Amino acid sequence: MDRYLRLPMPCNKVLATYVWIDGSGIHLRNKDRILSCTPYTAEAAPNWAFDGSSTGQASTDNSDTILKPAAVFRDPFRLEPHVLVLCDVYRGDGKADPSNHRKFCNDLCEFHKAEEPWFGLEQEYTMLDIDGWGLGWPKGGGFPAVNYEFSYCGIGAKYVAGRDIIEAHTRSCLYAGCDFEGTNAEVMYACWEFQIGTTVGIKAADDMWMARYLMTRIAEDYGVDITYHPKPMGPKHPGVGMHHNFSTKTMRSDGGYKFIEECVKKLEANHMKHMKRYSVDEQGNRMRLSGKFETAPFEKFSWGVANRKSSIRIQRSVKAKGKGFFEDRRPAGDCDPYLVCGLLLDTCLGPASGGGGRACK
C-alpha cells in the first residue's frame, strides 16, 4: 500500500472522506470524494447526498439524504492535504434525521456558552475477531482459560490483546486533531479504554465520534472488529461504558460544590428519562448496570464521593477543594455522546430555548 500512498497527487486534487453516523445510532459509514482544494473548516466543505435507504435513514422511494459537514480533521491515512469530514445527517425535507443528535447538543452548547461546559469522555470498547468472538478468547467458550485478573493496565500476552492497534490509534487521533487524552487496558481481556478531553463544548463529542471512526477503521487494517456493546461477552464478564465527566464555570469556581449537589438532585429526578437514552441497546445497558463490576443498578439512582458503585461519582479531591466536576458513570459504551452531553446540559443548566428568558448579566 505504501507504494501507492507515495504517488504524488495533482495539486488541485484533495481527497475528502465524509464520515457519518448511520441509522443504527452507533455504526459509522464513509464515502470519499475528490475536491479541488482543502476545506480547513466545515463551512468550506460542500454538502453531499447519499442513499439513506441503505443506511436505515430513509425509505427507498425517498432516499436522497444530505451530509452536512460539521467538523474537519487531518487524514492520518493519507496525510496532508487530505481530510476527514465529520457530517451530520439531514433528510430531503431539510429536517435533522432522527439519528442526528448533534444539533440538539450544539444548540445547548451555544446557548450555555457563557458557562463554558467542559467534558471528559472515557470510551471503553472491546476487540473482536471477525467471527464476533473476543480477540484472543478461546474459541467455543473456554472461560476461565482467559485470565484477566491482571488485565487492567496490564502487560503480557496472557492478559492483554491488540496493543498495536492502541498505538496506531493514539497517533492517528493526535495527528487528526482530536483532544486525545490517554489510554489504558481494561479489566476484561481484549477490552481497552481511551479518553477524549478535557474539551470545551461540542468538540468533545465531535472528537469522540472521530476517534471511534479511527478506531474501527484502523482495526480493520488488522482484521479486527471493534464493538461498543455494553456487555459484549455476556453477563458473567465485565461491562463496557462511556463515563462522562462534566463541569461548568460555576462548578469550577469557589463554592462550586453546592452547584454540583444541585445538579446531582436534578439528575436524580430525571434518572429513568436519561437511562432510556444512554445506550442504543437499553437491554444491553441493563445487563451492564447490574450492581456488579463497579456499577450501580440500572433502576436506582445513587451518588457518592469516590464511590465507583454509584451512578454519579464525585472525586475525593473535588469534595476537598469544594469545586470541580462530577462523573456520570451510567452511559453505555455505545451511547451517543451528543445525546448524553446534551442531556447533561439540558438537565443541569436548562433547555436551549430558555423557556421564559434569562436575566441580563
> Given the complex with ligand ADP, which of 22 and 115 has the nearer CB atom?
115
The smaller minimum CB distance to ligand ADP, of residues 76 and 324, is found at 324
**Stretches 10-18, 62-70, 114-122, 288-296: which one binds ligand ADP (CB under 6 A)?**
114-122
Selected binder of ligand ADP within 25, 197, 238, 342 (CB under 6 A): 197
Binder of residue 256, out of ligand ADP, Mn ion, none (CB less than 5 to 8 A by kind): none
312's enclosing H/E stretch is strand 312-314
The option from Mn ion, ligand ADP, none interacting with 120 (CB < 5 to 8 A, set by class) reads ligand ADP
Non-local (6+) Cβ contacts of 344 within 8 A are 244, 246, 267, 328
Size of the site for ligand ADP (CB under 6 A): 16
Q: At closest approach, how far in Å is the CB of 5 from ligand ADP?
A: 33
Q: Which amino acid is at 308?
A: R
Give me the 147-186 binding string for ligand ADP, x by CB under 6 A, dash otherwise. ----------------------------------x-----
- Residue 198 binding ligand ADP, by CB under 6 A: yes
Minimum CB–partner distance for residue 280 and ligand ADP (Å): 22
243 binds Mn ion (CB under 5 A): yes
Number of H helices, E strands in the chain: 10, 13
d(CA 68, CA 125): 28
210: which strand partners? none
Q: Outline where 155-248 has alpha helix (H).
A: 163-176, 203-221
Closest-by-Cβ residue to ligand ADP is 120
Taking CB under 6 A as the rule, does residue 195 contact ligand ADP?
yes
- Would you call 226 helix, strand, or coil by DSSP? strand
> What one-character-per-residue DSSP string does 106-146 give?
HHHHHHTGGG--EEEEEEEEEEE-TTSSBTTPPTT--TTSS
Cell 469544594 locates to 322
**Among the listed residues 352, 355, 348, 324, the one whose alpha carbon sits nearest the alpha carbon of residue 262:** 348
325 binds ligand ADP (CB under 6 A): yes
Interface with Mn ion (CB under 5 A): 122, 193, 243
Interface with ligand ADP (CB under 6 A): 118-120, 122, 181, 195, 197-198, 243, 245-247, 252, 324-325, 327
